[in-house]
Amino acid sequence: MIELRRSAERGHANHGWLDSYHSFSFADYFDAKHMGFGPLRVINEDRINGGAGFGTHGHRDMEIISYVLDGELAHKDSMGNGSVIRPGDVQRMSAGRGVMHSEFNHAQDRTTHFLQIWIEPNVRGIEPGYEEKHFSETEKRGRLRLIASPDGQDGSVTIHQDAKLYAGLFDGEETARVAPAPGRRVYVHVARGEIAVNGIVLKAGDALKAADEQSIELSQGREAEVLLFDLP
């Protein structure tokens, strides 16, 4: 089974300081057909104006991953963490039994463009946690680099769910193929550029849901940056 989710079909909210596209139901955007995919609950493509951001707010029982495409994002939380993440950085916050945090773009003359991803955990009420790692373009060039997993495999950030997240950069003849284990689902989100997934051309903001597929092949990339989720 393959199902497409085109960029233009996503929910959209423009708050002036924040321009956000929602792949799944979020905030004031609700679509009963798009509540998530397995434990993958949120993919928001956010653009934050310079000098703006999300004030302090709370989360609980959610694995939250931030993936910066352009600009920088400052983070502070009630665990005492404070950092600035940039393209190539992957930030994971396990909200657990409750955490407060804020996210801000301090660069007055530059927009921050990033993906905010929520994955429902397989444990609840745990101690909140935070992790941040950098993955270079070289590591992602022409391949799918594991960036999040349940056991921190290959230097990925650790999430509390039986799910894996890969990132890749593809251009020209560069290709990658994954063979999902029986019963697993795959979600491919194109962050930018263009790429063919099992021969279907996807552009920036497009996504593909796959279940019971023996193979997922990425090819014919045109300056493509892709996230692939291996989900239960």
Q: Which residues contact 72 (CB under 8 A, 6 or more apart)?
A: 84, 85, 86, 105, 106, 107, 110, 112
Could you write out the DSSP letters of every residue in 196-231? EETTEEEETT-EEEEES-S-EEEEEEEEEEEEEEEE
- Bridging pattern class, strands 157-158 and 145-149: parallel
* pLDDT for the residue numbered 89: 96
Phi, psi (deg, nearest 5) at residue 98: 140, 130
Mean pLDDT across 102-114: 94
Whether residue 112 is predicted with pLDDT greater than 90 in this model: the reply is yes
Q: Which residues contact 9 (CB under 8 A, 6 or more apart)?
A: none
**Helices (runs of H) and strands (runs of E) counted in the chain:** 1, 20
Whether residue 229 is predicted with pLDDT greater than 90 in this model: the reply is yes
Whether residue 39 is predicted with pLDDT greater than 90 in this model: the reply is yes
With cut-offs at 50, 70 and 90, classify the pLDDT of residue 53.
Answer: confident
With cut-offs at 50, 70 and 90, classify the pLDDT of residue 55.
Answer: confident
The percentage of the chain sitting over the pLDDT mark of 70, rounded to a whole number, equals 100
* pLDDT for the residue numbered 77: 83
39: alpha, beta or left, given left = phi > 0 and alpha = psi -120 to 50?
alpha
* pLDDT for the residue numbered 81: 86
Instruction: Sketch the domain layout of the chain as residue ranges.
Output: 2-231
CA–CA dist 122, 143 (Å, integer): 28
What's the CA dihedral at 37, 101, 129, 91 to 10 degrees? 60
* pLDDT for the residue numbered 214: 94
CA distances from 54 to 67, 77, 82, 98 (A): 16, 12, 14, 17
| Helices of type H across the chain | 137-140
Q: Was domain 2-231 assigned CATH 2.60.120.10? A: yes
Per the prediction, the chain carries an average pLDDT of: 96
* pLDDT for the residue numbered 117: 98
Whether residue 104 is predicted with pLDDT greater than 90 in this model: the reply is no
Token pair for residue 162? 């039986």
Mean pLDDT across 158-170: 98
The percentage of the chain sitting over the pLDDT mark of 90, rounded to a whole number, equals 93
Gap between the terminal Cα atoms of the chain: 15
Among candidates 91, 77, 95, 231, which has minimal Cα distance to 163?
231
* pLDDT for the residue numbered 156: 98
CA distances from 174 to 25, 95, 109, 110, 183 (A): 33, 37, 35, 31, 28
